[in-house]
């Protein structure tokens, strides 16, 4: 299997992807937007304290104040014990963004700083030491924990990442010194900074992925920007992986050339087709992401239970892929097709857990409910990819639907009645041409025109450029009306 990584650039935007035999398995977007600030450190000021919630709101140079929980403030207490809030309004604080702002929610902040390296995570405000959960061998965990404690003798705490297992002690010491230097630079910048200033910027997208990804399993890394390629080349020269890098300078856009753009575009669809003819429906809400599994055209070759089980297994594999591709975070609820067999239900949960283990984000699966629902959580780092690739529809205001012709006509009727109640004899309505045609075809106002509006005049001016729910109604008592040729007297 050929596994490649791709970095493409459009102005300040960076598109990154991982594909296995040309099939997209991971996609990332760094828009250069100020909202994608996870990992950055700022000088902030506490604006108000909510004692009942043990939290504070902090101004730190962004549009919305950040949320600082008492448990995210360093203390001398044992780890896991939340101390009373020890900040007050007006205090200046050094805060790191642990979650970027999403939707109506401001950023989640922490004063427990962390600096992420290739092998280590350095926590200057803590003496806590730990080993990645992905390392399960007890002897290896003990060895790495001892190394972490050795590194922490100069102060601070360390978490040993998975790659630390293959690093030699000299590499670990050098990286620890580098991360300490980053913290020292941050402290110096903080001393002279104003409230709202950024005093440390986390790595760019390409640097984060090259740092965090297990590159041993990557065959080629294609980079579409020469400056970024040169930086990666210097980095890889030290790691002896220089032969993996490829500078792409083809005439066609990289993502289009490698067949990735079409797959990225498909992420905007709520419907995901499965190879068998079954399909998924993925709906994002403020509270959670709901996924519905449907058999579609898949009828199977044996009995119903086996058909349903096969469909659910296919769906579980694709769901694990989709949440990675879309960078879905938070709670995910999946409505699998009902199965009678307890053995099949248990096997489905096991399959989903196995597929989610390939995800670099932490996932936690809850057993299936009696209604056939499986819930799992996925750690949220930043906005999901769909929200970063799209914007709210100005017509439906993000609802996903627009008003029906009948309801638009009803709203026009309300406006006309108000116009006549205000003393006008003539009303001029400008509206969408399609809605106008529907009003004529259904004779929406016929009874009113023949009845209580019999002494009134309603002129309608259709516009092909108007959106469907766009209209204006104005009254006019002039003896002579000036109207365009397209104006029609209603009935």
pLDDT tens-digit profile, the chain (491 residues): 899 999 998 877 889 999 999 999 999 988 765 557 889 999 999 999 998 888 999 999 998 999 999 989 987 544 445 556 788 899 999 999 998 887 778 899 999 999 998 899 999 999 999 999 889 899 999 999 999 999 999 999 999 998 899 888 998 998 899 899 999 999 999 999 999 999 998 877 888 888 778 777 899 999 998 988 888 887 776 555 668 899 999 988 999 999 999 999 999 999 999 988 889 999 988 889 999 999 877 665 667 788 889 999 999 999 999 999 999 999 999 999 988 889 999 999 999 999 999 898 889 999 898 888 999 999 877 778 888 888 878 777 777 788 888 899 999 999 999 999 999 999 999 999 999 999 999 999 999 999 999 999 999 999 999 999 899 999 999 988 999 999 999 87
Q: Tens digit of pLDDT for each residue in 416-443?
A: 999 999 999 999 999 999 999 999 999 9
Separation between Cα atoms, residue 453 and residue 449, nearest integer Å: 5
Residue 276 structure tokens: 């068998």
Report the distance separating Cα 139 and Cα 148, nearest Å.
Answer: 14
Q: Which CATH architecture has domain 3-34+203-262?
A: 2-Layer Sandwich (3.30)
Sequence spans of domains, the chain: 3-34+203-262, 41-200, 269-389, 405-489
Classify 254 as helix, strand or coil: helix
- Was domain 41-200 assigned CATH 3.40.1010.10? no
Identify any residues that bridge with 366 across adjacent strands, giving them in sequence order.
Answer: 375
Grouping H, G, I as helix, E, B as strand and the rest as coil, residue 65 is: coil
Cα–Cα–Cα angle for 302, 304, 310, rounded to 5 degrees: 75
Q: Is 428 helix (H, G, I), strand (E, B) or coil?
A: strand
Q: Which residue has the tokens 């791709």?
A: 6
Task: For the domain made up of 269-389, give the CATH fold.
Answer: Aminopeptidase (3.40.630)
Identical fold between 3-34+203-262 and 41-200: no
pLDDT on residue 74? 87
DSSP letter, residue 102: B
Q: What is the pTM of this model?
A: 0.72
Q: Is the dihedral of CA 74, 75, 81, 86 positive or negative?
A: negative
Q: List Cβ neighbours of 151 (8 Å cut-off, separation of 6 or more).
A: 120, 158, 172, 173, 176
- Tell whether the torsion through CA atoms of 431, 434, 439 and 441 is positive or negative: positive
H-assigned helices in 200-282: 205-212, 226-239, 254-257, 261-265
Specify whether the CB–CB gap between 289 and 322 falls below 8 A: no
Helices of type H across 193-337: 205-212, 226-239, 254-257, 261-265, 304-326
């Amino acid at each position: 299997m050929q596994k490649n990584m791709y970095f493409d650039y459009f102005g300040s935007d960076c598109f990154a992807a991982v594909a296995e035999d040309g099939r997209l398995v991971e996609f990332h977007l760094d828009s250069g937007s100020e909202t994608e600030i996870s990992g950055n450190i700022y000088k902030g000021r506490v604006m108000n304290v909510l004692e009942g919630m043990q939290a504070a709101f902090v101004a730190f140079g962004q549009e919305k104040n950040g949320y600082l929980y008492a448990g995210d403030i360093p203390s001398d207490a044992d780890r896991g014990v939340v101390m009373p809030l020890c900040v007050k309004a007006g205090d200046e604080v050094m805060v790191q963004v642990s979650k970027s702002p999403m939707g109506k929610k401001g950023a989640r902040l922490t004063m427990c700083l962390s600096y992420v390296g290739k092998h280590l995570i350095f926590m200057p405000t803590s003496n806590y030491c730990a080993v990645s959960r992905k390392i399960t061998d007890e002897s290896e965990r003990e060895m790495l924990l001892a190394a972490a404690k050795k590194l922490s003798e100069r102060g601070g705490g360390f978490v040993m990442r998975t790659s630390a297992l293959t690093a030699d002690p000299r590499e670990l010491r050098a990286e620890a010194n580098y991360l300490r230097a980053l913290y020292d630079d941050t402290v110096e910048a903080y001393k002279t900074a104003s409230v709202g200033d950024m005093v440390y910027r986390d790595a760019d997208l390409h640097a984060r992925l090259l740092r965090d990804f297990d590159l041993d399993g990557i065959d080629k890394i294609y980079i579409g920007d020469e400056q970024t390629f040169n930086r990666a080349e210097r980095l890889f020269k030290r790691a002896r992986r220089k032969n993996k890098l490829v500078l792409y300078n083809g005439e066609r856009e990289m993502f289009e050339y490698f067949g990735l753009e079409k797959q990225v575009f498909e992420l905007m669809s709520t419907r995901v087709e499965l190879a068998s003819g079954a399909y998924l429906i993925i709906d994002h809400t403020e509270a959670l992401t709901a996924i519905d599994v449907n058999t579609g055209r898949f009828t199977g070759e044996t009995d119903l239970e086996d058909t349903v089980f096969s469909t659910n297994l296919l769906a579980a594999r694709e769901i694990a892929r989709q949440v990675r591709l879309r960078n879905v975070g938070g709670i995910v609820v999946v409505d699998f097709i009902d199965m009678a067999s307890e053995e099949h239900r248990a096997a489905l949960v096991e399959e989903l857990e196995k597929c989610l283990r390939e995800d670099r984000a932490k996932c936690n699966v809850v057993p299936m409910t009696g209604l056939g629902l499986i819930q799992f959580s996925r750690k949220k780092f930043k906005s999901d990819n769909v929200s970063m690739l799209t914007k709210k529809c100005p017509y439906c205001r993000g609802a996903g639907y627009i008003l029906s012709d009948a309801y638009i006509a009803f709203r026009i009727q309300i406006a006309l009645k108000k116009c006549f109640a205000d003393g006008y004899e003539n009303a001029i309505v400008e509206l969408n041409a399609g809605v106008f045609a529907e009003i004529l075809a259904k004779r929406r106002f016929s009874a009113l025109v023949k009845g209580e509006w019999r002494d009134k005049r309603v002129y309608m001016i259709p516009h092909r450029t108007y959106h469907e729910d766009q209209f204006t109604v104005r009254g006019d008592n002039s003896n002579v009306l000036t109207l365009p040729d397209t104006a029609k007297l209603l009935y």
